[in-house]
Amino acid sequence: MSNPSEHPIRPPAKNSSAVAQDLLRACVHCGFCNATCPTYQLTGDEREGPRGRLYLMKDLLAGALADADLEPLAHCLGCRSCETTCPAGIQYSEILDTVRERTQGQRPVLQRALDRAAEMVLSARKPLATILRVARALRPLAPPTLKRRILLSTKGLEWPAARHARRVGLLIGCVQPALRPDLDVKAAIVLDHLGISAQPLGPACCGALPYHLQAHEKGRAQALETLSLGMAGDLQGVTSTATGCTAFLRDYGRLFHDTDEAAQAHAFAATVTDVAAWVDPARLPLLPPDLRRDIAWHAPCSLQHALKGALHVEAILKALGHRLVPVSDAALCCGSAGPYSLRHPRLARALAKRKWQALTGAHPALVVTANIGCQQHLASHGDRPVVHWLDLVFEALTNQDKADRD
């Protein structure tokens, strides 16, 4: 398989704990990371910023603080904004994963139980899909506050037949098909227009959901199943329409660094890229003036800081003719962060409110994002449409087809 992305993949580590300690020693405690940390900016508490958490993690890895308060680690969104800001190149997320796994037994029983409950609810594909299908049917009768939480999904779309030499595997995940059943089909239709056939992989969980809820072994087991799917067949790469899933797929090399699958996982991760990397802006139609809109672009943290692909989506939106309004504090998280909004609703709501104010300060017609979790989270707090960028590309190509037929 070949990959259009050139983002580097970190090589597999020899020992996760030793690597984490090496990374900690490289930290100069300058505090630049606090300037872009959502929880620190919200609370002003040193313990709720990367620098304070790094001090805590250093002691935990050294075997100290057996009775330490782990709540600051639980409050971390995993947005990786601090990694983008850090002048020393500290891979904060790698340290955090190591510490969380080693301190799993120290967490309060209630917190562990709530995490397991959240994981069970969100990973129950068929029941969740049924509940949301009913919710969409009853959406017109719902009050405005509830209506905003139910995302619409286009009906009647069909997956295009494989007919192109270029082929990419498109992961059909767990939560996204329930929230937006049409989004993966829209992606396949868009890619088909551009001469690329999307082969559905799954449904299968990439492993991010249980792993981020600290069910690490279950996360690895699910990731191993997805790894086998992605390596099968003559594919030129693997992608997902959820940037959170894509970022986790790209981290498989580290996830399996000490297993027999290390080499395979590292090779697989090198083929993973955001779905936007397969869309050439130069091949998109320019919308007529009456269909161009002022939009606020919300680049999810997984796209900005893990995949480094926010600018490519911006180029796609501009190629369609839309105007991107300025957004203050564009690097800050909206508070969705996968299951975070369920585990820490107070912090998640506060971050969403702050993000919404930043996104709508220039009065855009709609907000555009690239991750289903961000779309649902922001839509539930806002007063105007929140869409996936693929919706706009699909809309433009559909209009072009209609114009060609006329």
Q: Which helix (H) or strand (E) holds 283?
A: none
The pLDDT assigned to 16 comes to 65
Residues 182, 154 contacting (CB under 8 angstroms): yes
Residues 363, 294 contacting (CB under 8 angstroms): yes
> For the chain, what's the residue count?
406
Q: What percent of the chain has pLDDT over 70?
A: 95
pLDDT tens figures, 204-241: 889 999 998 888 889 999 999 999 888 877 899 999 99
Task: Return the percent helix, strand and coil in the chain, to nearest 5.
Answer: 55, 5, 40
Going by pLDDT thresholds of 50, 70 and 90, the confidence category of residue 23 is: confident
Residue 27: closest CA among 82, 109, 108? 82
Residue 213: closest CA among 13, 94, 78, 305? 78
The pLDDT assigned to 15 comes to 58
* Cα angle value 21/25/27 (rounded, 5°): 120
238 φ/ψ angles, rounded to the nearest 5 degrees: -130, 140
pLDDT tens figures, 89-121: 888 998 898 888 888 777 788 888 888 888 888
* Cα angle value 371/374/375 (rounded, 5°): 85
The pLDDT assigned to 13 comes to 41
pLDDT tens figures, 36-45: 999 999 999 9
Using CA atoms of 369, 177, 306, 228 in order, give the dihedral in degrees to the nearest 10. -160
322 φ/ψ angles, rounded to the nearest 5 degrees: -75, 155
* Mean pLDDT, range 10-38, rounded to an integer: 74
Which residues are CB-neighbours of 175 under 8 A, at least 6 positions away? 122, 123, 128, 209, 372, 373
Going by pLDDT thresholds of 50, 70 and 90, the confidence category of residue 242 is: very high
* Cα angle value 313/212/177 (rounded, 5°): 55
Question: Going along 222-359, which residue ranges are E strands?
Answer: 238-239, 294-297, 323-324
Tokens for 395, please give them: 């809309």
Residue listed under structure tokens 């299968």: 204
Q: What percent of the chain has pLDDT over 90?
A: 58
Cα 277 from chain centroid (whole Å): 15
Going by pLDDT thresholds of 50, 70 and 90, the confidence category of residue 361 is: very high
pLDDT tens figures, 132-145: 889 988 888 888 87
Residues 4, 277 contacting (CB under 8 angstroms): yes
Residue 294: closest CA among 272, 271, 318, 330? 318
pLDDT tens figures, 299-349: 999 999 999 999 999 999 999 999 999 999 998 999 999 888 888 999 999
Number of CB atoms found within 10 A of residue 351's CB: 27
175 class by beta-carbon count within 10 Å (0-12 exposed, 13-18 middle, 19+ buried):
buried
What b/e sequence results for 148-163 when a residue is b if at least 16 CB atoms lie within 10 Å of its CB, and e otherwise? bebbebeeebeebeee
Q: Which helix (H) or strand (E) holds 271?
A: none
Tokens for 221, please give them: 């087991």
**Helix 372-379 and helix 345-359, axial crossing angle in degrees, nearest 10:** 90
DSSP 131-174: HHHHHHHHGGGS-HHHHTTS-----S--PPPP--SEEEEEE--S
Going by pLDDT thresholds of 50, 70 and 90, the confidence category of residue 3 is: very low
pLDDT exceeds cutoff 60 at 14: no
Q: What is the mean pLDDT of the chain?
A: 89
Going by pLDDT thresholds of 50, 70 and 90, the confidence category of residue 49 is: very high
Q: Is 228 left (phi over 0), alpha (psi -120 to 50) or beta?
A: alpha
Which residues are CB-neighbours of 199 under 8 A, at least 6 positions away? 162, 167, 168, 169, 170, 233, 235
Tokens for 270, please give them: 């090198």
Q: Which helix (H) or strand (E) holds 50?
A: helix 50-61
268 φ/ψ angles, rounded to the nearest 5 degrees: -65, -45
* pTM score: 0.90
User: Is residue 269 classed as helix, strand or coil in its secondary structure?
Assistant: helix
User: Is residue 24 classed as helix, strand or coil in its secondary structure?
Assistant: helix
